[in-house]
Amino acid sequence: MKINLSLQQDFQTAELPLKRGQIKKQLETALRHVGFEVDCEIGIACVDIAESHELNLQYREKDKPTNVLSFPSDIPEEMLNLLDAEPLGDLVICIPVVLQEATEQQKTPNQHFTHLLVHGVLHLLGYDHETNETDAEEMEALEIAILKKLGVTNPYQADEI
């Protein structure tokens, strides 16, 4: 599997140095875990609070910034075989929110970013946690298993205490 990654870093910080190779490895681990094995394209934009807030309001009607937004590709199925790589979609990750949440949840910024990356990719593949409890549990279990492969502890463990 080849991953064509478009990484746009409109917001950067020394607290969370993003490395293209590391992100591609994390994406590949998540995709392979769920049985996705074809060449694909994923866009990731790292943004500030204002951009996240604006996009969250525009697309989800939520008047606040958020950690990650997922925009799955909507290319018709019959067009996919004409392409060299399957476009999965785009993720918009708000770096200041990632840093704030990491501090609040007593995680490293890199661990939290990795969790949100995995979470977002699962959304791009059609997984959902907002529709019903069964889907939420399935998605959470996948995240935990993928993150374990990436050396990141269960991000939900603190929630269970």
Distance of CA 158 to the CA centre of its chain: 20
The domain of 46 spans 3-154
Q: Is residue 77 part of a domain?
A: yes
pLDDT band at 161 (very low <50, low <70, confident <90, very high): very low
The CATH number of whichever domain residue 87 belongs to comes to 3.40.390.30
Q: Is residue 133 part of a domain?
A: yes
pLDDT at 90: 98
Instruction: Count the domains in the chain.
Output: 1
Question: Judging by beta carbons within 10 Å of its beta carbon (0-12, 13-18, 19+), is residue 161 exposed, middle or buried?
Answer: exposed
pLDDT at 130 over 50: yes
Whether the CB-CB separation of 45 and 8 falls below 8 Å is answered with: yes
Question: Judging by beta carbons within 10 Å of its beta carbon (0-12, 13-18, 19+), is residue 97 exposed, middle or buried?
Answer: buried
Q: For residues 26 and 74, what is the distance between their CA atoms, to the nearest angstrom?
A: 23
pLDDT at 100 over 80: yes
- The helix/strand/coil state of 54 is helix
Q: Is residue 161 part of a domain?
A: no
pLDDT at 158: 57
Please state the pTM of the whole predicted model: 0.93
Q: Is residue 160 part of a domain?
A: no
State the distance between the two ends of the chain, measured CA to CA, in whole angstroms.
Answer: 39
Whether the CB-CB separation of 116 and 67 falls below 8 Å is answered with: yes
Q: Is residue 60 part of a domain?
A: yes
In DSSP terms, 91 is beta-bridged to 44, 70
pLDDT band at 129 (very low <50, low <70, confident <90, very high): confident
Q: Is residue 59 part of a domain?
A: yes
95, HSE (Cβ side, Cα atoms, 13 Å): 17
Whether the CB-CB separation of 122 and 89 falls below 8 Å is answered with: no
